[in-house]
Structure 1
Amino acid sequence: MFKPVTIKDIAKALNLSTSTVSRALRGGYEISEETKRIVLDYAEKINFQRNPIALSLKERRSYSIGVVVCEVANQFFSQAIDGIESIAYSKGYHVIISQTHDKYNREVINTEHLAHRSVDGLLISLSAETKDYSHLVKLHQQGLPIVFFDRILDSIQTHKVTSNNFKGAFNATEYLIESGCKRIAHLANAAQLSITSERQSGYEEALKKHNIEIKPELIRYCQHGGSNVQEVEEAVRYFLDMDEKPDAIFVASDRLSTGCLAALKKYNKTEDLLIAGFSNSDVVELLKPSLSAVRQPAFEMGRKAAEMLISLIESKYPVEEFETAILETTFKKND
């Protein structure tokens, strides 16, 4: 009959107390690094798995965290999830992932479902359609630890992780200007998202630096974040039908970048436009026109967000000071 290894078995084998082994497996701060290493190495050697049911009953925790993103297939979010999992699993937490497909109602349903499944905390990147945040405010007020990443919400006091959207957008726009472009269109995400205003500010500041007039008619918002193909195609078509056409487009998100390139190919306008935008996908390098890409440190953002959330979950006292971490982007020219 199968009999799983217990914490008592490890304690006996290593001549330690069960409480010391338990704390070491949890990464408790009161246990020395040397003792943690000995316990974790032995646990890995014997393929020890903690009993999640017993843990949840004893500690009133599920040892699971919920993750809400717009789309797992999005390269940025898949990389961020890898980062989240790398921290969560090392700390003994399971990860439950759900997708909103950038729809507000999906976000509401998914967050409430995860809360009812008794996750210990929630990592969330807001959907493009979300303008009413009451579902998140309610969960936060009820005591559920929440950490925002990438698309953050200023009105809820908690930890947040994002990238330097302003600088990334500035660098991309300045590259287009230095490449000889003077009439640069901006294909933006949903207007209410934090990343939208930050990236638009970077775009506008680059224009100002080079004494290029900011023209509102050259900015188009996609309220569905790129999930509605027709909306993206209409925005691109709008630029192409202008009497004085743009000579470049700065695109403000991963999904919009691929949608923009697909629309340009559909309308056979792939030779006379320079494109720069946010994208963590390597596929865009193979497309025509090629995309000079602002890349976010997605994996690191995921790791940081998970560390923040677990620190909230495991804090023995109410947390009153919160951090907004801003990680640097990189820019890859595709000349």
Structure 2
Amino acid sequence: MKNGKITIHDISKALGIDSSTVSRALNDSPRVSKKTKEIILNKAKEVGYQRNSLASNLRTNKTHTIAVVLPRVSRYFFATVIAGIEETAYEAGYNVIICQSLDNLNREKKIISTLISNRVDGIIMSISMETTNYEHLQAYKKLGKPIVFFDRPCSLNNCSNININNFQSSFNATKHLILKGCKHIAYFSGSLDIELYRQRKNGYIAALNEHNIKVNEHYIFESNLSEEDGIKSAKKILQLKSIDGLYSSNDTAAISAMQYLKSKNIRIPEDIAVVGFNNDPISAIIEPSLTTINQPAFKIGKIASNLLVDQIENKTTNIKEQSKLLNSELIIRNSSKKV
């Protein structure tokens, strides 16, 4: 016994079994027979042996910990992705650390620095709206450790991206409003420095072009898509007077805009039809219920986690080829059901 703690040598002495065999058994090595392993594990439990994870991590250069870095845990989409990640990571024997950037680049940089110091084995990440330079992420990649991106595509070399088809999703949302008779459709976008929102803007424009509707840049509002941003943008579209449709790149801004418009006696969908994005739970229960794009968030989390664990354990080389593009679903509700 060392410093009051039971060691593998104590178990070895008690059982008359070589300490290297005890160590292998405690690490579930196939080199130890099932019967011997059972004897050793029972003795370890009996004497109260606890594995020294730190020492093991130093020997193997692995912490069996992965980090998830995302804008906001409070968003339903991100919370659901986390659930998918944790389920898969837990089954693979990995602990999960959750970090939120709050869409702030400096905060994101500090998080990555901390994760480097704590030697996490891999990162699953949705970059902040301010992230256009990837130097802080390259510092982590130089350690030979993987990053899997989701939701917001990232062009960092030799990394996987798990996303939905944002262009097609946006095209479908805009086309739906056009088919409901809308000809002057406002679009609430996130930062167009982010590839995700450029893809959604392109989908919006493509739908307008297909139906010979002129693109009006004054109808495109760029923001962080917060509740406050939704209200500010709603005030602006009222000044335009001609708007008869609204497509928002998230439900948060769409719902706050709807609430403001209703307070100004704008009828939804009769005066302005609205489509959101994410299928937050509140979108089904507000009045009127919100037409929105549903993303397979739990599936995204599971795929991202599976890929990361595979890249950690198998040192995969064709990482970029493992990127996946998933389909979304337009859920039609009352906010766009014009008669």
TM range (shorter): 0.7 to 0.9
Instruction: Tell me the secondary structure at the aligned position of residue 291 of structure 1.
Output: coil
Task: Report the Cα offset of residue 318 of structure 1.
Answer: 4.8
Q: Note the alpha carbon deviations across 1:25-66, whole angstroms, 9 max, x for none.
A: xxxxx99xxx9xxx9xxxxxx9xx987445423322110001
Taking the TM superposition and a 5 Å limit, the aligned residue runs for 1:29-178 are 52-53=53-54, 55-178=56-179
**Bigger CA drift: 82-91 or 287-296?**
287-296
> Displacement, 1:281?
1.0
Using the size of structure 2 for normalisation, the TM-score is 0.80
Output the amino acid matched with 1:333.
I
Give the drift of 1:304: 0.8
- Alpha-carbon separation, structure 2, partners of 1:67 and 1:121: 9
Root-mean-square deviation over aligned CA pairs: 3.3
Partners of 2:99 and 2:241 in 1: CA distance? 44
Q: Which residue of 2 aligns with 1:334?
A: 333
Secondary structure (helix, strand or coil) at the match of 1:61 reads coil
Distance 1:299 1:252 in 2: 19
Q: How does 1:279-318 map onto structure 2 within 5 Å?
A: 279-316=278-315, 318=317
1:329/1:320 CA distance change after superposition, 3 Å: closer
User: Which deviations, in whole Å up to 9, do the C-alpha atoms of 1:127-167 show, x marking residues without a partner?
Assistant: 11222222112222232311111112114321110011111
Residues 186, 317 of structure 1: alpha-carbon distance in 2 compared, 3 angstrom cutoff: closer
Q: Distance in 2 between matches of 1:306 and 1:201?
A: 29
CA distance in 1, matches of 2:23, 2:255: 53
Q: 1:208 to 1:318 in 2, by over 3 A?
A: closer
Among candidates 250, 254, 258, match of residue 253 of structure 1: 250
Distance in 2, matches of 1:70 and 1:266, equals 30
Please show how residues 22-33 of structure 1 align to structure 2 within 5 Å.
Answer: none
What letter corresponds to residue 220 of structure 1 in structure 2? F
Q: Matched residues in 1 for 2:27 and 2:182: separation? A: 61
5+ long unaligned stretches in structure 2: 13-21, 39-44, 335-339
Offset at residue 21 of structure 1 (A): 9.0
Would you say the 8 A contact 2:294–2:331 is kept in 1?
yes
Aligned 8 A contact 2:230 2:252 in 1: no
Matches within 5 A, 1:126-275: 126-222=127-223, 225-227=224-226, 229-244=227-242, 246-271=243-268, 272-275=271-274
The residue type equivalent to 1:304 in the other structure is I
Structure 2: how far apart are the matches of 1:260 and 1:23?
A: 57
**CA shift at 1:313, angstroms?**
0.9
Matched to 2:313, the amino acid is E
Q: Aligned pair count?
A: 308
Give the match for residue 42 of structure 1: none
Q: Percent identity?
A: 31
The answer as to whether partners of 2:189 and 2:225 remain within 8 angstroms in 1 is no
| Structure 1 Cα separation of the partners of residues 316 and 197 of structure 2 | 35
Q: TM-score, normalised by structure 1?
A: 0.81
Partner SS for 2:192: coil
The structure number with the bigger radius of gyration is 2
Judge conservation of contact 1:312–1:319 (CA < 8 Å) in 2. no
Distance 1:320 1:191, change over 3 A: closer
Unpaired stretches in structure 1, ≥5 consecutive residues: 9-16, 25-29, 40-45
Q: Secondary structure at the match of 1:299?
A: helix
How far 1:194 sits from its partner (Å)? Answer: 1.7
